[in-house]
């Protein structure tokens, strides 16, 4: 484990400990908690943590890799995994690959990206998720509920057009049913699902660990793919980022940068909640 990762876990744990103290125990007289009480968190708190992390990966990948990369000659494609295509994954496919790796892990946590105006029909939100998405678009707040059809606890988070690259690519795409997306629109939602209503601290750490490993493995597959490009000498993997030219950061530089942002945002949200 690298240092940034350990720091991120410490911040998360401090955040959860103080939060759970305020929410669950503050109104009652102080008493000794049993281990089970101490280590149990709501599944919805877990969703908020991994959703924050996923947003950070998604926005840094979109802005600093795809957005800047396109200006400097890097290519991104829907069919990036095909042998003859020399390109990296689009942001939605970065998420899909991360979610496929999550599915393969022993943690029964799933992640799905959907929309009411999807480029790919398989991403159309249906049933209760379509209903909840209408509410999300009105107040821009996440929704937490139980999906009785699948018997899963669900956390749905708005997916904002956080970078110009999101808007431009969707508006220009032939299969896009909507061509007037604007910056900061809610373009869809990331949906998390889990079969139980609560988790232990150990499980939550496992979630974070499995999520980070899945996202990092997706990024590593992209780096590995660039090594097979005939024009591979054009992309240098190291400490530099695409804003400086045809460069890609190593998986450690990339995930360090994400975790730095995630830790700072978590501290900020923590301070805001307590104000
Ligand atoms: C370079 C092009 C490109 C960029 C940049 C891009 N997308 Fe997409 N996006 C796509 C394509 C293509 C799909 C469909 C992929 C698939 O087959 O699932 C997609 C899928 C999605 C979906 C699932 C619904 C759908 O349209 O199929 C959402 C939501 C979404 N993108 C939001 C975003 C957001 C938010 C950003 C910026 C953070 C972004 N996209 C950046 C091309 C792009």
With beta carbons less than 8 A apart as the criterion, state whether 187 and 118 touch: no
Instruction: Residue 210: name the closest of 36, 18, 5, 15 by CA.
Output: 5
The yes-or-no verdict on residue 233 having pLDDT over 80 is no
Which residue shows structure tokens 């970065």? 94
Q: How far is the CA of 114 from the centre of ligand 1 (A)?
A: 10
Q: What is the mean pLDDT of residues 127-131?
A: 96
Ligand 1 lining (C-beta closer than 6 Å): 58, 62, 66, 76, 78, 90-93, 113, 115, 118-120, 123, 159, 161-163, 165-166, 169-170, 173, 187-188
Q: How many CB atoms lie within 10 A of CB 80?
A: 19
Q: Which residue has the higher pLDDT, 272 or 150?
A: 150
Q: How far is the CA of 166 from the centre of ligand 1 (A)?
A: 7
Confidence of residue 264 (pLDDT cuts 50, 70, 90): confident
- What's the rounded Cα separation, in Å, for the pair 125 and 117? 9
Quick one: what percent of the chain has pLDDT higher than 90?
69
């Amino acid at each position: 484990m690298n240092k940034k990762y350990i720091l991120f876990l410490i911040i998360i744990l401090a955040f959860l400990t103080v939060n759970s103290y305020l929410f669950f125990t503050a109104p009652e007289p102080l008493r000794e908690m049993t281990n089970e009480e101490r280590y149990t968190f709501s599944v919805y708190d877990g969703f908020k943590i991994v959703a924050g992390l996923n947003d950070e990966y998604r926005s840094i990948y979109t802005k600093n890799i795809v957005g800047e990369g396109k200006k400097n000659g890097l290519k991104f494609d829907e069919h990036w995994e095909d042998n003859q295509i020399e390109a990296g994954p689009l942001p939605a496919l970065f998420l899909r690959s991360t979610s496929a790796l999550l599915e393969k892990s022993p943690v029964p946590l799933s992640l799905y990206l959907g929309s009411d105006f999807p480029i790919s029909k398989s991403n159309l939100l249906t049933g209760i998720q379509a209903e909840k998405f209408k509410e999300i678009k009105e107040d821009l707040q996440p929704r937490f509920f139980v999906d009785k059809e699948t018997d899963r606890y669900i956390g749905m988070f708005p997916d904002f057009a956080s970078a110009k690259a999101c808007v431009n690519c969707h508006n220009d795409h032939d299969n896009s049913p909507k061509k007037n997306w604007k910056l900061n629109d809610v373009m869809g939602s990331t949906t998390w699902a889990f079969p139980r209503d609560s988790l232990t601290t150990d499980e939550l750490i496992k979630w974070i660990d499995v999520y980070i490993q899945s996202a990092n493995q997706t990024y590593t597959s992209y780096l590995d793919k660039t090594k097979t490009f005939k024009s591979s000498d054009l992309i240098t993997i190291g400490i530099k980022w695409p804003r400086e030219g045809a460069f890609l950061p190593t998986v450690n530089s990339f995930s360090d940068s994400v975790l730095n942002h995630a830790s700072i945002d978590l501290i900020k949200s923590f301070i805001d909640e307590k104000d």
